[in-house]
Amino acid sequence: MPVRLSPRLAAVVNALPLRPGSRVLEIGCGPGAAARAVAMRLDGGHILAIDRSAAAIAQAEAGAAEEIAAGRMSVRQVAGEDFVLQPQEEPYDLVFAVRVGALDGRHPETGRRMLQRIAAATTPDARLFIDGGTPLRELTIPRA
């Protein structure tokens, strides 16, 4: 069943450089519409949608039952600045976030912590995108 996206979210999803087998992390997924749209485009890949809100995760889980059952998507309640890979969890090669204050400059200290967590949970050549460009802006993932 196709996901109904706002024009803005559709532009974001369409602009992501998805490849077959991509491992994608969405930070601040809300009800999960963008994550579901990404999951439908993945061929052999996986998207993990995270949000600090239990209500948002419950909505995302309910709306994405088919994608979750198929193994293309999973959800986890965790704040981006607290995210760590679980044992045996493979790192991600693509990260995106829409309207996440820690990454768009509204909360700089939280943003620094979140970027460190992203760096620890991604492959060396991973890419990070946020909204605010046309339609995306790429941020540099800090590497030690």
Domain boundaries, the chain: 7-137
Q: Are 123 and 93 in contact (CB under 8 A)?
A: yes
The reported pLDDT for the residue numbered 1 is 60
pTM: 0.96
Cis geometry, peptide bond prior to residue 142 (ω within 30 degrees of 0): no
Q: For the domain 7-137, what is the CATH superfamily, name and number?
A: Vaccinia Virus protein VP39 (3.40.50.150)
The reported pLDDT for the residue numbered 22 is 97
Nearest to 102 by CA among 28, 24, 12: 28
pLDDT tens per residue, range 90-118: 999 999 999 999 999 999 999 999 999 99
Tokens of residue 20, six digits:
């077959």
Q: How far is CA 20 from CA 39, 43, 71, 93, 102, in A?
A: 11, 5, 14, 12, 29
